[in-house]
Amino acid sequence: MDNLALCEVNNVPLTPITFLKRASECYPNRTSIIYGQTRFTWPQTYDHCCRLAASLLSFNIAKNDVISVVAPNTPAMYEMHFAVPMAGAVLNPINTRLDATSIAAILRHAKPKILFIDRSFEPLAREILHLLSCDDSNLNLLVIFIDENDFSKRVSSEELDYECLIQRGEPTPSLVARMFFIQDEHDPISLNYTSGTTADPKGVVISHRGAYLCSLSVIIGWEMGTCPVYLWTLPM
């Protein structure tokens, strides 16, 4: 027993993205998300996440690159919690209640490659980008808007939006296998910031392992039953 070597059979890195794959395979007919009149099943959510991850990889997103998002709890926000780490990147969800100055400070520190922002926050986005252009942060930031039915679609054909990335993503079998291969469970999965009430916001890094174990502890702590259909949550 002392010479038992670690291998894929007895040692798998812990990551919450495996929850999504399992749900799509074990519960193909169950609803994953209800948002207004929109309903998705787990296979549909899985497909969206794989397509988004494939699109992110087409932008040459590399391991541990940061992707920021300013959005309420929409399906897109939910999907990014899986798709961004599936692409090997680190998700930076930003509090929608923060002002442009605080968000600009977060972006200067996090140095994301992409900023997703809900169309309802477009004026805020313009103010943030103006603040960043006035300093020497040198952020080469790609901005992608998340459109909802209540808002007009892309202003021009050159402007990328979230649904465009879902449609153009091509998750080949080899690419999907790569998405779910996590070499080190201690790699970062998300970068979260405090609200900066006393000074500039401060970042906290969470690992794949930490997020996985935290998820299980919440399930146990809340005494969650089998196949619940309602989740109360703060902004993601």
Within a domain: 186: yes
| pLDDT at position 197 | 73
Residue 5 in this model has a pLDDT that exceeds 90: no
Mean pLDDT of 60-73: 95
Residue 154 in this model has a pLDDT that exceeds 70: no
Residue 153 in this model has a pLDDT that exceeds 60: no
| pLDDT at position 7 | 78
pLDDT band of 1, cuts 50, 70, 90: low
Contact (Cβ atoms closer than 8 angstroms) between residue 204 and residue 191: yes
Give how many domains the chain has, as a whole number.
Answer: 1
In whole angstroms, give the CA distance from residue 74 to residue 78: 6
C-alpha distances out from residue 179 to 13, 34, 84, 171, 192, Å: 13, 26, 10, 9, 22
Within a domain: 229: no
H helices present in 39-161, as ranges:
42-58, 75-86, 100-110, 122-133
Which domain, by its residues, includes 142? 17-221
Within a domain: 164: yes
pLDDT digits (tens, 9 = 90+) for 206-218: 999 999 999 999 9
Percent of the chain with pLDDT over 70: 94
CATH value at residue 26:
3.40.50.12780
This prediction has a pTM of 0.90
